[in-house]
Amino acid sequence: MHKTYFNWSTGKDSALALYYLLNDKNYHVDELVTTVNSHFNRVTMHGLRNELLHAQTKSIGISSSIIELPEQPSMEVYEQKMLETVSRLKRQGFTHSAFGDIFLEDLKTYRENQLNQLSIKAIFPLWKQNTKELVNEFLDLGFKTIIVSASAKYFDRDFVGTIIDENFIDKLPEGVDPCGENGEFHTFCFDGPIFSEPIQFVIGEKTYREYKNPDKDDENPQSGFWYCDLIPK
């Protein structure tokens, strides 16, 4: 079995990809790795509190670690932090790195090239699968997930805080991927077959934030996102 670490985002695609790997005799997942915004103490992009991340990984029962990033890291800073973590995992005998990506070719190539430098093989359990079918399979398996962040380009504040159900796909605006694979929305998976117990939380405040790309000399915000705060019970 290949000693594997999983790049854990806390969302539905990560949960389903991890489920696949846990049922694959070729791999043994020994660590979950998550990037965290050290300024806010929240999961990068998802805006999820670290307390819920820890509750989640505890329920999964796999050792976890975090990569702390500044509020708006440059690519140089991001790659240095990743290099430090992957080098540590390499020394510990890890040979494979797993992701929940589905069809972003540029991102897949980038991940593979970065990991090849340390002779780590990237694997993508969900690669090229139909995203509508993935959402339906996710629900059929008994997973539960809630939307914690969403692009203001497609959604308003009412969308965040929604629990995904069998009618979810029919409610999406035209052009939005059912899995949010283009960054349209992000989720927090709080129950399902990989968990020993559901993660308990209550819905908190909804906020809007805009971001700038630190690698671009552009005064205009790069993107705006709605966030739904989840508070541990």
Provide the Cα torsion 103, 104, 109, 115; round to 10°: -80
Angle at 6 between CA 74 and CA 30, to 5 degrees: 130
Structure tokens given for 213: 């790309």
User: Can you say how many angstroms the Cα of residue 118 is from the centroid of all Cα atoms in its chain?
Assistant: 23
- pLDDT tens per residue, range 52-82: 999 999 999 999 999 999 988 999 999 999 9
Q: Measure the CA–CA gap between 195 and 178, rounded to whole angstroms.
A: 23
- The CATH topology of domain 2-123 is Rossmann fold (3.40.50)
Binning pLDDT at 50, 70 and 90, where does residue 219 land? low
- pLDDT tens per residue, range 101-150: 999 999 999 999 999 999 999 999 999 999 999 999 999 999 999 999 99
Sketch the domain layout of the chain as residue ranges: 2-123, 131-232
Tell me which DSSP letter residue 14 carries.
H
